[in-house]
Structure 1
């Protein structure tokens, strides 16, 4: 994680990072035929570049000088044919490069999203979601240009330069020297441009990531922004980030605005020198008019790939920076290891043995926790906010791994179970219910096609939510919009109970499952909860002590430690932590 964050602000390094390029080429392997076809067509296109000036020279010095109209027509036909072939090659290059780039970024995006799906929750605690969006969308899109204007295109430009220089010296070495005397100026300006734009592009990518992070976070928390009248403050923050984004882009545009006119002036200077020297040679009959014309064309063809190489080098640099960031995410080992191979139908016996856990490996939120839950029993956890209640259920499903101790299910360490097998048998109903922008049915089944509509309806009737769903437009096919925005908190909670029921878990976890609903709704789902818990091991976290008085065991947590343990009556007799909590809540209910 530190690597990823650090890379946001570090300047880009080497253009040709061989390790990164090697990794990048691994994604090309499935498309080797297309890639080598692209390389071949680029080389063919580069090989044809010097042909047209030579044909022009031959035409001027031959048929045109001799007044041979038939010869002129023949040469025109050959040149038209060459132009058509070049156009076809250009079309093939563009299509193959685009096809290759889009298929590769599709593969990388699939791999990256698959990786993100399996990262442990701690990673998302530390990483802004906007940065992950930037990785998955913007950075990967940048890679498409690496294949359309990157390595293969640069190789083609270099080959074209070599061929043109060879043909020029073969044609006339004196004109060649005159033509190429401006190259040092072009190379110096190109190098300066490359270095400036390289740094600028990296700053642009950082600005994009910051912009994405800010927008995603603040749109998600828009209700808080408006509740506390923070619109102006947040707008000012956004304005500053946006200004930074604009300035970095303008800086990049400025470098292009300077470089291209300078490059044109240098190319024009080379053309002027050829015309001046060539005219003197023509007057002395030492060179033909056709040769001078060909060299004017050579200069234009020669300087174009030099300018393109500078641009493509920067495209490649952007690709290297984006690839480096993507590979850091792909290589991240911040995921829950799935080394377990045990697949079994759980009975539901749970045991924590001397468990220590910290989110940051320093400040323990659970300290030497030990308890047992027998099959079919209900254990409830109570305590103040931050006591460690929610951490216990996160550890049971291996959303986080413990620092010390053991967590056993059916006398086997949870790490022995195959992760999917473990989680599909633990049903969790959270306080903050998340619904996707989809239908009610899809939010209940979560895409599991083995769950039939009949089973959904049966569970909905058990919870008591079926009539409410049928009153909605399209019933179970009603789209709840993003995060279930069209439903109330209580309605979302009821749907989460249906979701837990249809997956038929062996262990049920209720994390403040009724704390967000009113008394009437709580009464509606309480009987359904009792049915859901029947025959299953249940772990309940609740602020409302009235909902857990029937639990087989109540564990009182304070600052990550077990303070008391027993059933409701036993804990009241102790007149300790639990009794104080009960009396405080009793007063709140009847004052």
Structure 2
């Protein structure tokens, strides 16, 4: 099982949505990363641009009037426009000066009164300069204002575009994530119904629930939060490196040093995080399983005063979960914001130290606008890096959760068949059948018997003798290890599980009712079973007498497991359910053991109707309920030790006789 490969497979199911989100993300990142270039242009070409060459010209567009003459920046002259006398503007500290002549070189500047001195190495030159006041300075800035406003508007539009597409990519990524998890949960739930009963023998229901709910929710976080951050952050990082190479390849090469740091960081983090998250997810399942078990067994816990022991067991699991959560917290604290903060500080110090000093000189290899853009990009580079690192914890949780969910999906299930076969006649044959739930520990040994159409076969014996195992094999909840079972001459192993059970019905000792109504529990939402059929089935089993007092009749609500109904009422609904499906083979597994005497009498009256035309198997502890059975099989430790009808077995005065007499004696003793 490859978790990443399976997660990718689920993502491809909705690839069109994800691709649309990634395109939106790319547009958003491109618009966002264009901003520093616009800011650089505003700073270098317009705010600091007035220090470029100016030429005397006629009055007109972009021309600035100063001391009776008009001047225009070199960049604003058209190709056929004549240039007059050259002049320059220099910033010295916080002051701006006007030099009424050309300047041969630029360098360090010093202003003494009206004298501007420029030095570059051993060269030095002095010029008469006029210090500009704020109004005069604003005249020279006047041509730049409209251009700056245009660029600011472009910057604003880029921000709006980035925000719109950022919203779009988040919306579509989350939409895809929700659909993926919806599909995954459907697949898991559907797969659970296909798993053989053997799988659930050693797996508590709470752990299965945890995988469908908690673990898939962790996977949803992977698609919604983790992958969204990884996608956006990765594209942003690539975009920033491209921008840095455009601005300054040396800076970009230096910034590439962050990549191996992040890779090493990831490897170290995952080494510990994976181990911690395995334990955390396992304990979450254990906690869910214990809560589920405790709620279902609360009556026993309180009746036998085991509240303290249950609390201690829960606290042990809870503390182990808490301790590993703390370990994860420590790991995240060490490798999260703190490390990013250190890297950010080191980067800023390095870049400001290397480029900052140069940008303040006239011979600067990097302009202030360039420095601003580089610092902005470096800051932006660390944010997506931090976003990736901050998602490591969620990533590890999701991968561990995914492993648990996909391990469940990898369990071999039983394929669902919609093949239909004609209704059985109901001739059942067990031919030298042996079976064990564990290898080499057989609970049934060389079982051979036949049940003809319309016969009632009763299975009796002490607890653990193998009665229910025979029914489990007939329903193919399990397959026999040796021998064969046939129905109307067909080996049941040659039939699909759903096809085999199409004409079979079962009533369990502890009937299970689902949340809904009495009617929905009888029909199990089968469209072929009409309301009239439901009412008739209930009437045939005597349900109208026992359930008739309910205000809403068959529309009365049933909560989980039918806890608001008596055991007799639940059993009658279960009987009606079996009858409504009109099975050719009917199994009654201890069906009357939990019913009161009055209700049993009602059911016994309906049993003759229920058994007509059907091959019926009855597993019963109350031997008085099977006196009319055509055939009674007495089992002892997985072997049929006696067989015959009631009278024949009583005449044998063997095991059946002893069991029957013992029960009759107990009943007489209770009556006395």
Q: If the length of structure 2 is used for normalisation, what is the TM-score?
A: 0.81
Q: Distance in 1 between matches of 2:418 and 2:231?
A: 48
Per the alignment, residue 330 of structure 1 pairs with 409
Residues 394/176 of structure 1: CA separation in 2 closer, same or farther (3 Å cut): closer
Q: Secondary structure at the match of 1:424?
A: helix
List runs of 5+ in structure 2 lacking aligned partners.
51-140
Per the alignment, residue 472 of structure 2 pairs with 394
Residues 153/44 of structure 1: CA separation in 2 closer, same or farther (3 Å cut): farther
Per the alignment, residue 324 of structure 2 pairs with 248
Indicate conservation of the 8 Å contact 2:484/2:491, yes or no.
yes
Indicate which of 356, 359, 362 corresponds to 1:279: 356
Per the alignment, residue 384 of structure 2 pairs with 305
Establish whether residue 229 from structure 1 lines up as the match of residue 212 from structure 2: no
Q: Deviations over 1:332-384 (max 9, x none)?
A: 11x44678967121011111000011112221110000001111111111110
Indicate conservation of the 8 Å contact 1:366/1:561, yes or no.
yes
Q: Deviations over 1:392-428 (max 9, x none)?
A: 1111111111111111111111123343232131121
Establish whether residue 462 from structure 1 lines up as the match of residue 547 from structure 2: no
List runs of 5+ in structure 1 lacking aligned partners.
1-16
Q: Distance in 2 between matches of 1:43 and 1:204?
A: 36
Q: Distance in 2 between matches of 1:156 and 1:317?
A: 19
Establish whether residue 476 from structure 1 lines up as the match of residue 459 from structure 2: no
Per the alignment, residue 492 of structure 1 pairs with 570
Per the alignment, residue 569 of structure 1 pairs with 647
Indicate which of 31, 39, 46 corresponds to 1:56: 39
* Cα offset, 1:432, TM superposition: 0.9
Per the alignment, residue 45 of structure 1 pairs with 28
Q: Distance in 1 between matches of 2:276 and 2:312?
A: 24
- Of structures 1 and 2, the one scoring higher in RCO (CA 8 A, sep 6+) is 1
Establish whether residue 268 from structure 1 lines up as the match of residue 251 from structure 2: no
Question: Structure 1 stretch 465-474 or stretch 537-546: which is displaced more?
Answer: 465-474
Q: Distance in 2 between matches of 1:515 and 1:174?
A: 86
Per the alignment, residue 4 of structure 1 pairs with none
How is 1:359-508 mapped onto 2 (pairs within 5 angstroms)? 359-508=437-586
Establish whether residue 30 from structure 1 lines up as the match of residue 109 from structure 2: no
Per the alignment, residue 7 of structure 1 pairs with none
Q: Distance in 2 between matches of 1:144 and 1:553?
A: 57
Q: Distance in 1 between matches of 2:480 and 2:515?
A: 34
Q: Distance in 2 between matches of 1:374 and 1:337?
A: 30
More helix by share: 1
Per the alignment, residue 192 of structure 1 pairs with 268
Indicate conservation of the 8 Å contact 2:194/2:416, yes or no.
no
Q: Distance in 1 between matches of 2:10 and 2:460?
A: 51
* Cα offset, 1:79, TM superposition: 0.5
Q: Distance in 2 between matches of 1:64 and 1:165?
A: 26
Indicate conservation of the 8 Å contact 2:205/2:289, yes or no.
yes
Size of the aligned set, in residue pairs, is 573
Q: RMSD of aligned C-alpha atoms?
A: 2.3
Q: Secondary structure at the match of 1:487?
A: coil
Per the alignment, residue 541 of structure 1 pairs with 619
Q: Secondary structure at the match of 2:574?
A: helix
Q: Deviations over 1:493-526 (max 9, x none)?
A: 1111111111111112111111111222211211
Per the alignment, residue 189 of structure 2 pairs with 113
Q: Secondary structure at the match of 1:450?
A: coil
Residues 136/412 of structure 1: CA separation in 2 closer, same or farther (3 Å cut): same
Flag the structure with larger Rg: 2
* Cα offset, 1:314, TM superposition: 4.6
Q: If the length of structure 1 is used for normalisation, what is the TM-score?
A: 0.91
Q: Secondary structure at the match of 1:380?
A: strand
Indicate conservation of the 8 Å contact 1:42/1:152, yes or no.
no
Indicate which of 240, 243, 251 corresponds to 1:164: 240
